[in-house]
Each structure stands twice: as structure tokens, then as C-alpha cells.
Structure 1
Amino acid sequence: MLKGAATTMVHAALLILSSLVAGTLQFQLKHHNNEELLQVLQDVNSRCPNITRIYTLTETSVLGTPLYLIEFSTKPGHHEIMKPEFKYIANMHGNEVLGRELMLKLADFLCEQYMSGNSNIQSLIEKTRIHLMPTMNPDGWQLATDTGGKDYLIGRTNNNSVDLNRNFPNLNRIMYSNEENHLDHNNHLLAQLTRLKEPLQPETKAVIRLIMQIPFVLSANLHGGDLVANYPYDESRTGSQKDEYSGTPDDETFKHLALAYSTHHSDMANPTRRGCGDVDSNRFGKQGGITNGAKWYSLAGGMQDFNYLSSNDFEITLELGCDKYPPTKVLQQEWDRNKEALLNYMWQSHIGVKGIVYDNVAKRGIANAVIHVKNITNGKYQDIQHDVVSVHDGDYFRLLTPGKYKITAYKDGYLPHSRIVTVTNPAHSSAQRVDFALKPISVPPYVRIQSNSYADLDFDDKYGDLQEAWTNWINLNREPIAVQ
């Protein structure tokens, strides 16, 4: 018996040595510490150097641990025009660890499948720039792990005892105030923020910089403690702590996004599955595995709502299971339960429309042009009161569910341009392309103010340089992201 065990150990050691000689170490699903986490990312990068990049954010954790991401793209390190940006962020609450291991496995899987010729994975990476952040709270993870990973709260916060998912600037109150006062300021609201309830933590500040620097289209925030896909708004309109549905103007799209995950998970949307609580414990399964955040319980300062209200990014929160710190023996099972959902959700970056807004005289892209959508499906004729803006060289992405829409692009100094579009969203295909050529106008300021014909063109520069407004507000320079 001992001889057999010794032979097995020698065989395992030889496999490890052969992997090291080849420059790679086969990925194993287990709980990786903060040093091993980086080793996994470096191994993936060494195997797939042409489609990956490891980088760190501009701030470390409170205890000085770098915050790492790995990027998958055909041109790592660059925003490619007409290619949507996607992100997963995990382990925001340090004691909710499943997402952390799923991100490491996902990175390994994407590399492996791309290199082996999996056409679906190759297409996904060729069409999408993907960012994976295994941990936003490495200090909390360390504390949770050191204390056995059994407590429901120990390790949840960062090392300053701050819940990072309550630490983002609260833009909901600005949005709700604008709604009440019939103001159409409905996106990129950081410029309207005048004060913070509490100081931003370094981990929060780092992620805010990431959100401001990269024009994400879609993302998800991976948590644990229940099994449900949670969509905005997380904070209720009235301040009620629970049971108040607070939908966004994109409620239909957010429901679709949440269902895109829950229905591809092995049992998140199963109405007969067992829930996590004692009272009405299966209600999420009976709802298709999704919930509006504020309807569940209201929280202020969350990352999900911040993404939607500060940028073009649509984000949901994924609660991946009842056990916040599942044992190693179930990690393979959890990967199998989540793999198709993780992949399918990334493909949702390509629903709706995309295109370029450009000056039809200079033939150059126009940044910060506003994209406004009116839903005219079946005669509905309803404005979606949440606009996105073009970025960089004028490209934009607008997530939409199937239907008929009137889409208008405008910017101060140009005549607006509208197009009627029918969205179909075929699976695993790029979004329908809809470009806008804007004609520049030259009108004296007093004419624009007095003439009704130009009234709709005077927007008081409210969609000005959004990045500059951000840096002025928080007094942070746009530092380049440090590449490892």
C-alpha cells in the first residue's frame, strides 16, 4: 500500500516537473492564495502571450497587495474600434470566494480553448475585449481564509473595515432627484456629484479609475451568499429598505441580461430547486433566478448602480451560491454549473446596435456624442431615458433587446441624425452596425437661444468632456495603468 502511494506521488511530481520544463503548470481548481493567484495569471499569459495581458490598477489594497486583471483580446492593451469592452470583477467581499476561483479557471479555459481551436471561444475573443479581475479585496480574502472561511461576515470588508460594495459614490440620489424634477440628465452623473458620504477606499478608487479609463459596455460583479442574478437599481427610490421594485429605464434589457446568466446556469433558474433561506427560500428560482436589487433589499453606494450611472456600462450582480466559502472538493462542480452561463453572459456584449458617429465633412469620429433611443416596437413610442455616449474615435455600443427603435445621435454644434432600426440579436454575432454622419452647423449663440428651430440643439454643454469633469471632481490625474 505504501509502495503504491509512493509511486503515485512520484508520478505526480514527474508531471509537475514536466509541466515546469514546458513553461506551464496545469491549472488545478483549489483555493489559490494571493501569490498563487498571480502565478496562475502569469502561466495563462505565458501560454497565450498574443491574446493576453496582465495589468494592475493604480492603487493597491490597504495592505499593499496589487489588484491584478488579465485581459483577453486580439490586440491586448488597446481599445479596438467596434469591439465592446467587457469585465468580470470577483471577490469584492473577501469572504465570498467562489467567483475568485471561477475567474482563474475561466482565464485558463479561454486560453486553452483558444489555442486548441475552439471556434466559439476564438470568435468571442476576436469580437470582444475581455477583462477578468479575480479579486478586488485580497486583504479580506486573507482574513477570511486565516480564520477558517466559515464566518458569514469575517473578511467581508477591506482592511479598513469598509464594505466596498457600499463605498462607491451614490449617484442614485442624483438620478432620482433629476427624475423628480423632470431633468433629462440621465447618464455620466459624476460631474453632478458635490460631496462624498465617506472617503473612497483605495480598492474603490482603483476600480473607479478603471471604469473611467476603459469604455466598458457590459460587466458583472461576482458575489456569494445566495443564488440569483441581481439587476439595477440596487437602491430604492423612496429609501424603503426592501420590497420596492426600482427599475432602470433599461429594465427590459437588464431582465434579459440577468436571464442570460440564470437560464444558462445549471439550476439558478430552476423553480423546484432549494433556496438558501428558511422563509420563502425558493422565491428566486420561481422568478427565473433573477431579482431587481431594491426589490430584494436596498443598498446605497453599490458598484452595480455606479457603473450604470457613471458610464456606458450595464452591470449586474451575480450571487453564485449559498455557501460563501465552498470547500475545495465542490469547486469543479461549481465550475461545471457556471461555465456556460459565464460564457453566454459575455456574448451579451453584442446585443443591440453599435456604430461610429462621425463628422460628415471632416470624416473623423466624434467623441461624446449622445445616443438617444426611443422604443417604437408595436407602436409603443417610448423614450428610454438613459443615454450612452460615443467614445474615443466615435464608436458607441447600445445594448437593446429585440424590437424596433428610433435612434438619434446628437452633439452640440451638429445637426442631429435619427435612424429607424429593427434589432434581432442573432446568437454569437456582432451587434448590428448603425453609423451616424453628423453635419456640422455654424450658428451664432444668440440665434441658437432665440430660434425655436435650433432649440433642441442647445444642450448647455451638459455632455462636455466627461473624463475631465471626473478628474476635476476627485482631483485624480489620469494615471496610466501599470503593466506587469
Structure 2
Amino acid sequence: MKLHSIIPVLLLLVSMQAVCGQESPAGDDIRNVVSRYGQAEVMISYPGYDAMTRLAARFSVSSCDGLTATLCLSPRDVDEFIAAGIPCKLIVPEERKGFHTASSVAEAMRWQSYPTWKHYDTIMHKIAGQWPDFCRLDTIGFSVQGRAVLVLKISDNPEEDEPEPEVMISSSIHGDETAGFVLLMRLAEYLASSGGAAGAGLASELVSELEIWINPLANPDGMYRGGDTLIYPVRANSNGYDLNRNFPDPEVAAPPPLQKETLDMIRFMEERRFALSVNLHSGAEVVNYPWDKWTRNHADDAWFNAISRRYADTVHLWSEPGYMTLLDNGITRGSNWYQIRGGRQDFVTWGLGGREVTLELDDTKMTPGSNLELMWEWNHRSLLRYIAEALTGIKGMVTDAETGDPLSAKIFITGHDRDSSHVWSDTTGFYTRLLPPGTWNLTFSCPGYKTYVLTAELTSSSPLQVSDIQLEKDNQDYPQPPESGLLVFPNPSDGNFNIMPPVAVTGEVTVTVTSTSGALMKHYRTTARPGIPVECRFTGLPSGLFIVSVRREPNGPMVRGKAVITQLINR
């Protein structure tokens, strides 16, 4: 269902007043709720597609069903909303001392209540400790208030970086959207316990063939705002920023400062280059796929639609009638709903070359403990099948035909790829290109090597092809490596640069990009070879001057250079 309409401002205000059905609350009433509970939710009439897009650029939209929309106001934007004079209904939270909180770790691991913060930390350690052959606990980073953002790696060799597709599943980037938090802890236990188990079926296959990373709680400060217990969680982080509007977006004229949780997540995802990911939310019941920020289709739009359809259709086989039926019977292209900027889904898909969808699990943002079992029963099969999408398409290694060294190559489908939909092999040479059945011509390119075109045939009965690619060196002339400093060319550029460090700073290197004020913008590892430029794709960055640093790992020398971006990529 497309919600396109244009309503003049006067009619918009009248419509809002009619749906709200009462006089709008006083500004002080809204401020008092924000002061007491950390945020305020206000319901407005759905104002039409264009007006909704404008509102979503100013305020955080937590739900929208085509009749009404709910905005979530933090201490940062409450005064701006009040000044706008938008008719609304204030939603006052119910009084409580806790929210379906477990009294012990054992009770929490029956998955029908919520753990305290200490219980959550214990549960994550417990899962990793109980199945060490299939599970390892890691840390993405730390929140503003110092809480660990935990993640479990589940694979048949969790201590190794194997040539396997990597999948990322995370939840609760909005701290008051709770269903996915418990669902993913339970999924982690289910997968870890299935590793190597006879009769475990699909779950065991996933553990054997993939590297699965599960992050149940991306915003711990928001969820545990009150301390150790879930009482009045908030959407934003402790600085009042909506973390799912905080990822780099070059088309935002005045982007908000990247928060610590955002920077840590970007660094974590850039280092691993996930082939497939999903971000769990609540506030609706729908599978949302790219793009959120553009009304044009992603190059893989048909594929995104198909995997979303498979998720929702599997849900419908196991759920009660009426669950996950919003918009197109439970799926939507994000911009058909309403447009947002700075979302993780589009950043991962556009900026990192990944494939991510947003899964909205429950109309109720804070799912009662009594309904958590239903969330599992209705969704866990769909989640397993979603993860299994990473076992389709084309994968393999890209290496130097002479030496066997791994290569970081660009993999592009001519006539198909656009808007950064191409993929890259990682520092180990491994690549994954998720694709539906069909005939595909993939071009492999790497500076210093001849291009190679692979023709792949995928069918519904053979949806995966493994193809190792060996690239031959070419005789192309490149600039001489600098004796010091970092050569950056072409410069200025639209965001696609080549960089060449001195010979002493080659091998495995870390590339870091910062603004002139010192803000970290990008941080990832790659391979630099003597005399061969390294292709850098600074997607997601606005026009301006940036400092590029290259350090040889693990503790080698570092060089710096300047890069000027003059226009956006893929415009």
C-alpha cells in the first residue's frame, strides 16, 4: 500500500485535530512527561506522504499505520515539537515499578520475562560458556554510560575467521522496543545448542556453514535507563539521539554528531562486511526492506521483496490470523511507508555493500512477558530461513593467480548494479554475492590485475555456486609510491579514491578517515601491496575535507593524507 498524498497545511492541522479527538496538551505537560520518563510519545493524524516525510526528518517516528503516527520526543527535540504547534494526543506511560522482570537468571532463561542488566550479562556469558565449541562472546563496543554492547558469534569454529558468509542479527537499537531482545537471546541459545547436534536440521547446517553474529541489545542505555531493571526504557541513547537516525547519510545537510554506539557499530560492521543482516524493532508488524531514504528501487529490489515475502509467509503459517499483515500483507519497501534518513538499514546496504532488512515484530513496543513465547513461536522459523538466505548466490575466493595471495576485488554486475549494490572480497579474499536464480555475469576487478568475467547459472534447485577466482597481473603503470606521507588520487573526487602508502606501510593495514574536527567517519582493514593503489570507497560521507590515515598492522608505522569529496556518489 502506497501512502502518497499531499494535504495543504491548514487541512493537515484540522485533520490532526479531528483524529486526536481532544484539545492538544499544554507544552508543559509534554515537558513534564519527558522530564519524568525520559521521553514523551505523542499521536498525530497521518498527514499524508510528503508531510510525513518532512516530519520524519525533524522528529523520531516510532509507528505509522496510515491513519495515525506516533512521534517519540526526547529532551533534545521536545521544545522544537511544542513550538511547531502540531495537534496531538499525549500518551502518558502507566505507573510501574518494573516490567515483567525475572527474579533470577534461571527464570529469565525460560524466556517469558525480561532480565535485569546483570542477568543479561550473565546469560550471554552462560551461553558462550556452555557451548564453547560453537559460540564465543565478543563486544561491539560500549555505550555512552559504559555498558558493554555484547554480541555472540555462533559457528562451528567460533575462534577462527573462516571463508564463510557472515550474518548479523541485532535488536533493540531503540531501547523501548523489547520483543527482539529476548527473542535473540533465545535464538542464540537455540543455535549454539544445535551445533553438531544430530537431528538439529537447518539450525545445525547454519552453524556449520555460516558465521552468525547475534547482538540482542544494541542500545543498553536506552533499555536500562532506570538502572539495572527494565522500568521506563527510552527510544534514544543517553544523549537523547535516536541511534537508528544516526548513521552517515551524505544527503543530510546538517547530520547529527555520530554517537559512540553508532561509531562502534560502524567499526564492527566495516571490519566484518556482513553478507546479510537484520535489525529487529517493534511498533509495527512488517518486514521493511531498502530503500528507506529513496523512492527509487534497489538494484536487488526483486530479491529483497522475495526474501521479505518468504519471511512473512512463513510467519503466517504459524501465527494467529492478523499478525504481520501491515501494508503489503506484512512486507513493504521502506519508502513506500515513509522516508527516513540516517537509518542503519540503508547505511549497511549502501555504505557497506551489505544486505539488510528491518523486522518490526510487534505493534506493542514493550511486549508483555506473557506474549514473548508467541513472538518465538511465530518468528523463529522465519528467522532461521532468513539466515539461510546467506547460503544462496555466488561465493568463493579471489586470489593472485601467481602467488595465491588474497585480493580485495570489486565484484560488479554490468547492467544490474547501481547505488553501491556491488560487493567486494574481504582481506582474506572471500566474497559473497547474494542473488536469486538466473544467469549472472560478474566482473572481478582489482588494481594491478586484469579484469575477469564469471558467468554463473543459479536455479531454484541449485541456488548456490562456489567459484574461486584467480586474477592475473597486468602491466599498467601506476604512480611511484611516495617515500613518506600518503598519495591520494584522484583528489578531489566524488568519493571513490585510490590511495598509495610508502612500501614500508604495506601488507595488512587499517584505513581511518576522520573529519577536520577529529570525528571518526570510517575505520576498516584492507590489504596494501607495494606500488599498487588501494581502491577506497568513502560512501556515506558528505562533501568536504577529510584526513585519511593508513597504519600497518599490528603496530607498524602510520602515514596520513588529505581527501576532498566534491560531490555525492551515485547521484
Shorter-normalised TM-score: what interval?
Answer: 0.7 to 0.9
Query: Cα distance, 1:122 vs. partner?
Result: 1.8
Which of these residues, 358, 365, 375, is aligned with residue 324 of structure 1? 365
Q: CA RMSD in A?
A: 3.2
The 3 A distance-change label for structure 1 pair 51 and 283 is closer
* 1:83-112 residue CA offsets vs partner (Å, 9 max, x unmatched): 001111101101100000001110111123
Answering whether residue 322 of structure 2 is matched by residue 273 of structure 1, we say yes
The 3 A distance-change label for structure 1 pair 414 and 268 is farther
Mapped to 2, the partners of 1:411 and 1:218 lie a distance apart of 23
User: Which residue of 1 is the match for residue 234 of structure 2?
Assistant: 155
User: Which residue of 1 is the match for residue 302 of structure 2?
Assistant: 252
The secondary structure found in structure 2 opposite 1:264 is helix
Which of these residues, 450, 457, 461, is aligned with residue 422 of structure 1? 457
User: Which residue of 1 is the match for residue 170 of structure 2?
Assistant: 89
Query: Cα distance, 1:269 vs. partner?
Result: 9.9
The 3 A distance-change label for structure 1 pair 288 and 404 is farther
The 3 A distance-change label for structure 1 pair 119 and 137 is same
Equivalent residues in 2 for 1:40-79, closer than 5 Å: 40-58=123-141, 60-79=142-161
Query: Counterpart amino acid of 1:169?
Result: P
Mapped to 2, the partners of 1:268 and 1:308 lie a distance apart of 30
Identity %: 27
Query: Counterpart amino acid of 1:161?
Result: G
Which of these residues, 178, 184, 187, is aligned with residue 106 of structure 1? 187
User: Which residue of 2 is the match for residue 216 of structure 1?
Assistant: 274
Query: Cα distance, 1:208 vs. partner?
Result: 0.6
Answering whether residue 419 of structure 2 is matched by residue 361 of structure 1, we say no
Query: Counterpart amino acid of 1:43?
Result: K
Query: Counterpart amino acid of 2:272?
Result: I
Mapped to 2, the partners of 1:467 and 1:160 lie a distance apart of 33
Per mean C-alpha deviation after superposition, the further-off stretch among 27-36 and 305-314 is 27-36
User: Which residue of 1 is the match for residue 287 of structure 2?
Assistant: 229
Which of these residues, 444, 456, 459, is aligned with residue 409 of structure 1? 444
Mapped to 1, the partners of 2:283 and 2:337 lie a distance apart of 13
The 3 A distance-change label for structure 1 pair 52 and 114 is same
Q: Which has the higher helix share?
A: 1
Contact 2:510-2:523 within 8 A present in 1 as well: no
Query: Counterpart amino acid of 1:354?
Result: K
Answering whether residue 515 of structure 2 is matched by residue 436 of structure 1, we say no
Contact 1:69-1:131 within 8 A present in 2 as well: yes
Query: Counterpart amino acid of 2:322?
Result: R
The secondary structure found in structure 2 opposite 1:96 is coil
User: Which residue of 1 is the match for residue 410 of structure 2?
Assistant: 370
* 1:359-417 residue CA offsets vs partner (Å, 9 max, x unmatched): 212222212x110114xxxxxxx322221111122111001011111111011221111
The 3 A distance-change label for structure 1 pair 478 and 410 is closer
* 1:416-440 residue CA offsets vs partner (Å, 9 max, x unmatched): 111211112548x8x3112222111
Mapped to 2, the partners of 1:100 and 1:147 lie a distance apart of 12
Query: Cα distance, 1:467 vs. partner?
Result: 8.0
Mapped to 1, the partners of 2:285 and 2:309 lie a distance apart of 13
Mapped to 1, the partners of 2:509 and 2:340 lie a distance apart of 27
Query: Counterpart amino acid of 2:425?
Result: S
Mapped to 2, the partners of 1:107 and 1:274 lie a distance apart of 24
Mapped to 1, the partners of 2:523 and 2:336 lie a distance apart of 38
User: Which residue of 2 is the match for residue 389 of structure 1?
Assistant: 424
The secondary structure found in structure 1 opposite 2:195 is helix
User: Which residue of 1 is the match for residue 115 of structure 2?
Assistant: 32
Which of these residues, 323, 336, 341, is aligned with residue 382 of structure 2? 341
The 3 A distance-change label for structure 1 pair 460 and 141 is closer
Query: Cα distance, 1:114 vs. partner?
Result: 2.9
Equivalent residues in 2 for 1:174-253, closer than 5 Å: 197-236=255-294, 245-253=295-303
Mapped to 2, the partners of 1:231 and 1:268 lie a distance apart of 22
Structure 1, unaligned stretches of length 5 or more?
Answer: 1-15, 175-194, 237-244, 276-281, 375-381, 447-458
Mapped to 2, the partners of 1:27 and 1:43 lie a distance apart of 14
Structure 2, unaligned stretches of length 5 or more?
Answer: 1-102, 480-493, 501-507, 526-552, 554-571
Query: Counterpart amino acid of 2:438?
Result: G
Mapped to 1, the partners of 2:431 and 2:202 lie a distance apart of 24
Query: Counterpart amino acid of 1:32?
Result: P
Contact 1:25-1:43 within 8 A present in 2 as well: no
Query: Cα distance, 1:65 vs. partner?
Result: 1.0
Query: Counterpart amino acid of 1:76?
Result: P
* Bigger RCO of structures 1 and 2 (CA < 8 A, at least 6 apart): 1
- Number of residue pairs aligned between Structure 1 and Structure 2: 395
Query: Counterpart amino acid of 2:191?
Result: L
Query: Counterpart amino acid of 1:90?
Result: S
The 3 A distance-change label for structure 1 pair 107 and 274 is closer
Contact 1:351-1:425 within 8 A present in 2 as well: no
Q: Please, what TM-score do these two structures have when normalized by structure 2?
A: 0.64
Equivalent residues in 2 for 1:122-137, closer than 5 Å: 122-137=204-219
* 1:212-271 residue CA offsets vs partner (Å, 9 max, x unmatched): 1112110000000111000011113xxxxxxxx43212212211222232122136999x
* 1:326-353 residue CA offsets vs partner (Å, 9 max, x unmatched): 1111111110001101100110112210
Contact 2:286-2:361 within 8 A present in 1 as well: yes
The 3 A distance-change label for structure 1 pair 102 and 269 is closer
Contact 2:393-2:436 within 8 A present in 1 as well: yes
Query: Counterpart amino acid of 1:397?
Result: T
Mapped to 2, the partners of 1:215 and 1:25 lie a distance apart of 32
Query: Cα distance, 1:52 vs. partner?
Result: 0.7
